Amino acid sequence: MNITDLKIKAAQIRIDLMTMITAAQAGHTGGSLSNTDILTALYYRVMKHNPTNSKDENRDRFIASKGHSVESLWCILADLGYFPKEELTTFSQFGTRLIGHPNNKVSGIEMNTGALGHGLAISVGMALAGKRGGKTYKVYCLMGDGEQTEGSIWEAAMAGAHYKLGNLIGIIDLNGLQISGKTSDVLSSEPLDEKWRAFGWHVIEIDGNDIEQLISTFDMIDHKSDKPTLILAKTTKGKGVSFAENQISWHHIVPTVEQLNLATIELRQQIEALRKEEN
């Protein structure tokens, strides 16, 4: 996919996740909208993975440490064929596999996550196993910015640097908001760039909603380095849906049918504008 195709895909995924959350009457809308561009870049362009062979030993690994924002991930995995797209209609319903956090009973999910602060430690273990086993795969771990107040994050950060895991890439969805307010007001963890550098990581700051910048950043990472990489991806919570953007309440608001219709119209307009721009 070229950059325009990826932007269109991200908008389509946003329509799918909004539709899924509305039908289920449950979900974390804002964070899923903010991380959609990151996941789109990873799954459709950057990562080595195969929906028909999800256990390939050489596959790249993705861990969603901020597991509550799983909706965009479910929609992407369904779109890629890891499971039937029709199954999205069962999201958060009784007996479903598609619960509100990643569930490794589903093809394409490496590990159950959602208890914040655990994903990076899991990723360190996977990356260390790959390095010691002579494997070429990379491990990508998506964290939240509110999650940076968990002590286990910093224990894992020390371990990743100690073992010189150049095959480990941490990404922080830095949208500045969490369930109870601004991250800077709830419990500030800034300056994150200086802290991660002090813990021995190579730190890159980018616009996490700019797919072109995401692609170029992932492509330039030196995986043979003796340092793991941390990407501070500055995003907008609720990205793509104007009335949800930068609104704390949209952390877990479920759209009404009217709001879903408005969001769908807005996202389809974005798609049409991208297609016209390309032509």
Per-residue model confidence (pLDDT) at position 7: 98
What share of the chain has pLDDT > 70, as a percent?
100
Mean pLDDT over all residues of the chain? 96
User: pTM of this prediction?
Assistant: 0.97
- Partner residues linked to 64 by β-bridges: 142
Q: pLDDT tens-digit profile of 31-89?
A: 999 999 999 999 999 999 999 999 999 999 999 999 999 999 999 999 999 999 999 99
Record the tokens describing residue 24, joined without a space.
């289920």
Q: pLDDT tens-digit profile of 168-217?
A: 999 999 999 998 889 999 999 999 999 999 999 999 999 999 999 999 99
Per-residue model confidence (pLDDT) at position 197: 98
Cβ density class 62-78: b for 16+ within 10 Å, e for less = bbbbbbbbbbbbbbbbb
Record the tokens describing residue 58, joined without a space.
């050489």
Record the tokens describing residue 28, joined without a space.
């974390």
Q: pLDDT tens-digit profile of 147-169?
A: 999 999 999 999 999 999 999 99
CATH of the domain at 174: 3.40.50.970
pLDDT at 114 over 90: no
State CA 31 to chain mean position distance.
Answer: 9
Give the DSSP letter string of the chain: --HHHHHHHHHHHHHHHHHHHHHHT---HHHHHHHHHHHHHIIIII----TT-TT-TT--EEEESSGGG-HHHHHHHHHHTSS-GGGGGGTTSTT-S--SS--TTSTT--S---STT-HHHHHHHHHHHHHHTT----EEEEEESGGGG-HHHHHHHHHHHHTT-TTEEEEEEE-SEETTEEHHHHH----HHHHHHHTT-EEEEEETT-HHHHHHHHHH--TTSSS-EEEEEE--TTTT-TTTTT-GGGGSPPPPHHHHHHHHHHHHHHHHHHHHHH-
Name the residue type at position 85. K
Asked if the bond preceding 51 is cis, omega within 30° of 0, the reply is no
Per-residue model confidence (pLDDT) at position 247: 94
Per-residue model confidence (pLDDT) at position 60: 98
Per-residue model confidence (pLDDT) at position 21: 98
Confidence of residue 115 (pLDDT cuts 50, 70, 90): confident
What is the domain count for the chain? Answer: 1
Burial class (CB in 10 A: 0-12, 13-18, 19+), 95: exposed
Q: pLDDT tens-digit profile of 238-266?
A: 999 999 999 999 898 999 999 999 999 99
pLDDT at 15 over 80: yes
pLDDT at 224 over 90: no
pLDDT at 279 over 80: no
Angle at 274 between CA 268 and CA 279, to 5 degrees: 130
Per-residue model confidence (pLDDT) at position 180: 86
Q: Within 13 Å of residue 257, how many CA atoms lie on the same side as its CB?
A: 1
| Parent domain of 230 | 3-278
Asked whether the beta carbons of 143 and 66 are under 8 A apart, the reply is: yes
